Amino acid sequence: MRFDREKYTDLILYLLSQCNSKPGFGKTVLCSILYFIDFDYYSHYGELITNETYIKSKRGIKPQHFKEVCEELISKKFLFFRKEPYYNRTIYKYYLIIIPTPKFTSKELEIINYAIDKFSDKNATTITQYAKKDPSISITDFGEKIDCRHVLSKFNSNK
């Protein structure tokens, strides 16, 4: 499995174009949705869309390439980043400078849009609490890679 930087970049840009107007849509929610898209796709089709590596952290899900890809998008003037007040906290928000042209298959878009509908209205606290219940995350120790093969255990436990 080789990381697909182009697909990952397209996915970040697409998610921002669809969700960034939502008040609680910051970095934590974005990273969580990236995870849920990849792992949902894996549960249906046996592969990840982006082949990203996701790490379990105390603050939620940490995609391995997220920081470097976002820094590259900022340097290319595709995005800008800003810290903003959000209730009694600070939210880390990315804003589009360009309008992306998504290059996804219909089955990829089905999973992507489902995740947007299901998760994009959540804030960081809510989505992190939800993610902790995911089998792949719950059996992983902090700082370790989340294994996509464990996503199937939620289907096996329902039989």
Structural domain contains residue 157: no
Query: What digits encode the pLDDT tens for the residues 87-122?
Result: 999 999 999 999 889 899 999 999 999 999 999 999
- Can you give the pLDDT at residue 153? 61
pLDDT higher than 50, residue 44: yes
Structural domain contains residue 155: no
Structural domain contains residue 46: yes
Q: Whole-angstrom Cα distance, residue 107 to residue 67?
A: 27
Structural domain contains residue 102: yes
Q: Report the run of H or E that residue 113 belongs to, with start and end.
A: helix 106-119
Query: What digits encode the pLDDT tens for the residues 52-65?
Result: 999 999 889 999 99
> Could you tell me which of 43, 69, 39 has the C-alpha nearest to residue 51?
39
User: Does the predicted model carry a pTM greater than 0.75?
Assistant: yes
- Can you give the pLDDT at residue 117? 97
Residue range of the domain that includes 122: 5-150
Overall domain count for the chain: 1
